[in-house]
Amino acid sequence: MDVRRICKILLLFSFLCGEGETQANECVAYRVDGEAIACVCNATYCDYPSDDVPKEGSSYWYATDKQGQRMKQLEQKFGSCGGSPPDETLTVDSNKKYQTIIGFGGAFTDSAGINLGKLSPATRDQLIRAYYDRKKGSGYTLGRIPIGATDCSTRPYTYDDFANDTSLEHFALAKEDYDYKIPYLKKALELNSETLFLGAAWTAPLWMKISGNLNGLSFLREDYYQTYADYLIKFLDEYKRNGVNVWAISTGNEPLSSLIFNYPSTTMAWTPRSMADWIANYMGPTLASSSHKETVILALDDSRPLLPWFVEPTFWNENATKYVAGIGVHWYLDFITPADLLDETHDEFPNKFIILSESSTSPPIWGTPKIKTESWRHGEKYILSIIEFCF
Ligand SMILES: *[C@@H]1O[C@H](CO)[C@@H](O)[C@H](O)[C@H]1NC(C)=O
Ligand SMILES: *[C@@H]1O[C@H](CO)[C@@H](O)[C@H](O)[C@H]1NC(C)=O
Ligand SMILES: *[C@@H]1O[C@H](CO)[C@@H](O)[C@H](O)[C@H]1NC(C)=O
């Protein structure tokens, strides 16, 4: 809110100084087959919507279309339809509240960082601004940070790839953290210091796992339940030391993927019960007695068919539930599971928030066509998912 006020003051100031700052920057359309599927930004120019507040008695609506409009602000006056008295009455009951929206965000993965690194510094700043700036961007307030490598990294790595290093003396962040993640996380923080970051590990170091493998079925060894909790605290320590506080840490990316036979992707499995046990007796108490007491735990971090049964043992366990603030949900199996499962989960555990922690449209293993000619359709998928998630 303060940022918004500062922006307003700056805007006013620039008007007074006659610097001619416009209220909005129009989209420079990028067309494929005559359809404007994206807007082009470069080092000196990027589109952004106007952020002024409608006058009393009127409202704004924003239009985005294939002809090239992007968040185009259009004004609508109440009760002004051709002078005749309106026959519809819109009643806003501000006492009736539904869910709170924590925010919107993106992920600071290696692959995002590699692509950002290919741009000139000015264009890169423009791109991050387009997401995280409250006025000249989408006002993102969330960011997900992979703890170690994801399945889209160029190599597998964790922060302790030294076999049997039970004291974690070799723990160290990777080159990827310094080159691809931290610099951009800090850019987002510069634009909005209240940005909340969610950390998620795809796997523990392989020597902590029963299978010792990166892919496929692999559980954490029970004798390393504490070591793994300590490992995650060290990640929080190191990120804090580098200027990035992590708001939430998940129990791990997609525990179910690991149960899929030969799943060819960095994974680590939990059962509903082992997840509850690890939180109650290891991760929860370790986090609570660390210097990261403010950091919350996010359970599940996997697709909708697992709700609510996968989190029930955690939330029914008095010693686990007190450490867990919410549930992370992925969108990949939404087509086989109704959104009602979110309501069901919320009704059963009303004090736990639900956050859509991962969605992406173009995993190459599914042979999706290249992003260039498909962008509009990808955008529609995100929009429909957000609408479904919110209602
Ligand atoms: C940047 O984009 C703007 C708007 O399309 C254009 O006028 C300007 O020439 C571009 N600058 C460069 C260096 O391409
Ligand atoms: C790690 O410990 C296991 C026994 O727990 C042993 O079999 C293995 O050789 C050790 N690996 C290394 C690299 O020391
Ligand atoms: C929770 O912890 C307390 C104290 O250690 C213990 O007595 C109780 O049995 C635990 N509850 C569960 C469900 O494990």
Residue bearing tokens 């807007």? 39
Least distant ligand from the CA of 162: 2
Least distant ligand from the CA of 322: 3
The average confidence (pLDDT) of the chain is: 88
Residue 355: closest CA among 345, 347, 363: 345
Weakest mean pLDDT among 114-128, 149-163, 350-364: 350-364
Which two three-digit tokens encode residue 109? 């993965």
Residue 376: band (very low, low, confident or very high) from pLDDT cuts 50, 70, 90: confident
Q: How far apart are the CA of 204 and the centre of ligand 2, in A?
A: 17
Asked if 298 and 276 count as a contact pair (C-beta separation under 8 A), the reply is no
Active site residue 294: no
pTM beyond 0.85: the answer is yes
| Residue 100 Rama label (left phi>0; alpha psi -120 to 50; beta) | beta
Is the confidence at residue 4, as pLDDT, over 90?
Answer: no
Q: Who lines ligand 3 at CB under 6 A?
A: 317-319
**pLDDT > 70 in the chain, percent:** 88
Active site residue 358: yes
Residues 284-293 have pLDDT tens digits of 999 999 999 9
Residue 73, helix vs strand vs coil: strand
Residue 9: band (very low, low, confident or very high) from pLDDT cuts 50, 70, 90: very low
Q: How far apart are the CA of 348 and the centre of ligand 2, in A?
A: 45
Residue bearing tokens 């929080």? 236
Pairing state between β 296-303 and 196-201: unpaired
Nearest CA to ligand 2 atom 1: 164
- Atom number in ligand 3 closest to CA 319: 1
* Range list of β-strands (E), the chain: 29-32, 35-39, 58-63, 72-77, 105-107, 142-147, 196-201, 248-250, 296-303, 324-330, 353-358
Q: What's the sign of the alpha-carbon dihedral 176, 103, 5, 247?
A: negative
